[in-house]
Each structure stands twice: as structure tokens, then as C-alpha cells.
Amino acid sequence: MHYDKPLVAVAIGVLSTIPYELFTRLMLILGIGEYSLYQLDSLIVTINRPSLSMGIIISFLVGGVVSTVFYYSLKKLGPDYIVLKAIVASLLTWATLEVLFTATIEGKYIPIRPIDDYFVHMAGSIVFGITLGLLLNKYLFKNHMKNQ
């Protein structure tokens, strides 16, 4: 049976946002941070009204794109240390998006977030990277690991 590996990479990226969201929700329950992943992502579109459904759509799009770009980059970089590479890619994406978000929305349309929020999302990004790396390794690169 033939399947499209980039499509699987998109699905993995989408699924990898779920543990990230669960982590950020847990931190909110513990009183750390102000927005969960999906809430923060929804602000990109809604500006000042956090929306779970809009956040899911935006997060799934971003997760799918990041995963696909990462999958294609692994063809050049190789799949060795895939989890570590996924964490680095996730942190670079987080930093880039955080800078763009802070420059365009935060402080203008929503109040400046507490520093804890940045650390919660950075840690959540690590959760995303771990999940992404493990799933890509299991479903797209399993033959590579058997050959070593």
C-alpha cells in the first residue's frame, strides 16, 4: 500500500500540537502563564479574543507546516538524532514566531504577557519537538533506524 510521506509528516505535525497544548493547559491550571498554545495562536487572527476553535486551526496549520519543512530538511541533514533536531527546529520556530507576535500584536492589541508565559511556551515547544521527533522516527524513518 502506497502512502504519501509528506502527508504523514503533516498529520504528525498536527498531532504533535496536542501534547504541547495539554502541557500549556496544565501550566495554566498550576497558575503559571497566561495563555495556552491554542489561545495564543488564536490571537494571531482574532487579535484580542482568545478562541479555542480558531487556535486549533492556526496551531494545526503551523504544526503541519513546521513538520513538513522539518521532514524535507531531514533529507539533507539525515535522521540521526532526530528528536534532538526536532527540539532545535521547534525552539527556532517558537523563537521566530514569538518575536513576530511580540512585534505585531503584544503591547498593541493585548497587554504584555508575564515572563512566565514565554517560558511556558518555550517548554511546550520542547514537548512539541520531542513528540514530533519520536513520531517522525517511528512512522517515517523506522527503516533507517533498523539499518544501523
Each residue's pLDDT, cut to its tens digit, for the chain (148 residues) gives: 457 899 999 999 999 999 999 999 999 999 999 999 999 999 989 988 999 999 999 999 999 999 999 999 998 999 999 999 999 999 999 999 999 999 989 989 899 999 999 999 999 999 999 999 999 999 998 765 454 4
Query: Is 103 within a domain?
Result: yes
Query: Is 90 within a domain?
Result: yes
Cα separation, 113 vs 117, in Å, equals 6
3 state SS of 66: helix
* Sign of the alpha-carbon dihedral angle for 3, 65, 36, 41: negative
Query: Is 148 within a domain?
Result: no
What's the domain range around 86?
5-143
C-beta neighbour count of 74 within 10 angstroms: 22
Angstrom CA distances, 52 to 38, 49, 88, 123, 126, stand at 6, 10, 27, 20, 21
Q: What amino acid is encoded at 30 in this protein? A: L
Query: Is 136 within a domain?
Result: yes
pTM for the whole thing?
0.92
Do 3 and 114 touch, CB atoms closer than 8 A? no
Query: Is 114 within a domain?
Result: yes
Q: Which residues pair with 110 in a beta bridge?
A: 106
Cβ-based neighbours of 129, under 8 Å, separated by 6 or more: 83, 86, 87, 88, 89, 90, 91
Into how many domains does the chain fold? 1
